[in-house]
Amino acid sequence: MNTADFDAFEAAVAGHPDEVDLFSAAMVIARLGGHPVDPHAAARALDLIAEDVLAEAGERPSHEALAHAIDNQLFAVRGFRGSFENYDDPENSYLDRVLERRVGIPITLSLVYLEVASRVGLPADGVGFPGHFIVRYGRPGSYAYVDPFQQGARLDETELLAMLRGLDLGGARPETFLAAVTRRQILQRMLNNLHVIFRTRRDIQRWHDTIELQLRLAPWNVALIGERGMLRYRLGRLDEALPDLETYVSVTEKDASPGAIRLLDQLRIRYRNMGESR
């Protein structure tokens, strides 16, 4: 990825939460894959699904009619499904590839559902259920819950709350986990998934680029700044690594990672020696 990509992502996530361009930001995330990304083709694919949904739902459709038409078009007609076999494949997190392959993880399949819903006029939100991601649609007091990863399975709110009460929620009320998440939170969750994948694979460049995008959403996250500094060091970008590591160590002080402190000491010695040799 390059500076233009990071700038495009920053522009997409700027402004009021309702103004965040979720689709455009997801297209930038897809560029982490290194393959050609065509936002126009992806948008057209979503538009075609929406056209078929509207044709199926009929004139002046209810929310239920729209939702069932989305289910049918996505899961029965087109065969979108959850990736159980290769859950950690990064391609499951790239919206364009999910649309092409019709396979994804909970959050990207939910994103497909949300993008189609917005095109057909169905009020819908993402829901960050612990360890999963689902969609709710409808109006307050009459929400219905859908699991796109399970090909549109309907979820009962009473059962969802019962499941939540059986989890350690850190003192939070179970109902808060059925609330809508923001567009930025959806993007954060997508990037968190890729962060874990690239870190586990030791894919240094993509790991670094994922953090660059994460910092466009949370520029105050000093842990990410420190991690970026260590990755920049490993990529040989020493001039950029130094301020990142200085920021991280100065803010975290005694809690700073020993590895980051060691790298910072090495950089300071390096630049001091360079200055003395001039």
pLDDT tens-digit map of 42-86 = 999 999 999 999 999 999 999 999 999 999 999 999 999 999 999
Is residue 205 in a domain?
no
The span from the CA of 43 to the CA of 54, in Å, is 16
Residues 148 and 238 in one domain: no
What are 175's two structure tokens?
């109902």
Distance of CA 142 to the CA centre of its chain: 27
Residues 122-139 have a mean pLDDT of 93
Is residue 202 in a domain?
no
CB 75 within 8 A of CB 14: no
Looking up residue 23, the CATH number of its domain turns out to be: 3.10.620
- With bands split at pLDDT 50, 70 and 90, how would you rate the model's confidence at 117? very high
Residues 254 and 151 in one domain: no
Mean pLDDT rounded to a whole number for the chain: 94
The span from the CA of 57 to the CA of 51, in Å, is 10
Q: Is the pLDDT assigned to residue 131 strictly greater than 90?
A: no
- With bands split at pLDDT 50, 70 and 90, how would you rate the model's confidence at 169? confident
Q: Is the pLDDT assigned to residue 276 strictly greater than 70?
A: no
Q: Looking at residue 277, what is its pLDDT?
A: 56
CB 223 within 8 A of CB 245: no
Residues of the domain holding 72: 3-183
% the chain with pLDDT above 90: 84
**How many domains does the structure of the chain reveal?**
2
